[in-house]
Structure 1
Amino acid sequence: MEEGETNTNTKFCATSLESLLDSARQVFGSNPQLKVLTTIHIRNSTTVLQNYTITEVKEIISDPNVLGCHPMPYPYAVFFCQTQKNDTKLYEVLVEGDNGAKVQAAAVCHVDTSKWDSARGKSPVCHFFHSDNLVLVLSPAATPSP
Structure 2
Amino acid sequence: MTDNISVVCHKQNYAYTVFYCHATQTTRAYIVPLEGTDGSKAKAVAVCHTDTSAWNPKHLAFQVLKVKPGDCPICHFLPEDHIVWVPNKNAAE
SS of the counterpart of 2:25? coil
Matched, 1:69 2:9: yes
User: Percent of pairs identical after alignment?
Assistant: 39
SS of the counterpart of 2:43? strand
Distance 1:77 1:128 in 2: 21
Aligned ranges 1:79-118 → 2 under 5 Å: 79-86=19-26, 88-116=27-55, 117=57
Q: Tell whether the 8 Å contact from 1:89 to 1:110 is kept in structure 2 after alignment.
A: yes
Q: Tell whether the 8 Å contact from 1:72 to 1:79 is kept in structure 2 after alignment.
A: yes
Superposed structure 1 runs of 4+ greater than 4 Å apart: none
Aligned to 2:18: 78
Q: How many residues align?
A: 83
The gaps in structure 2 that reach 5 residues or longer are: 58-66
Q: Give the structure-1-normalised TM-score.
A: 0.47
Distance 1:77 1:89 in 2: 25
The Cα RMSD (Å) is 2.6
Aligned to 2:84: 135
Q: Cα 1:69–1:143, aligned 2, differ >3 Å: closer, same or farther?
A: farther
How far the C-alpha of 1:92 sits from its partner, in A, is: 0.8
The gaps in structure 1 that reach 5 residues or longer are: 1-27, 30-61
Specify the structure having the higher radius of gyration (Cα).
1
How big is each residue's C-alpha offset from its partner over 1:55-101, in whole Å with a ceiling of 9 and x where there is no partner? xxxxxxx82x1111121222222111123333x22211001122333
Aligned to 2:62: none
1:113 is matched by which residue type in structure 2? T
How far the C-alpha of 1:112 sits from its partner, in A, is: 2.4
Q: Tell whether the 8 Å contact from 1:111 to 1:122 is kept in structure 2 after alignment.
A: no
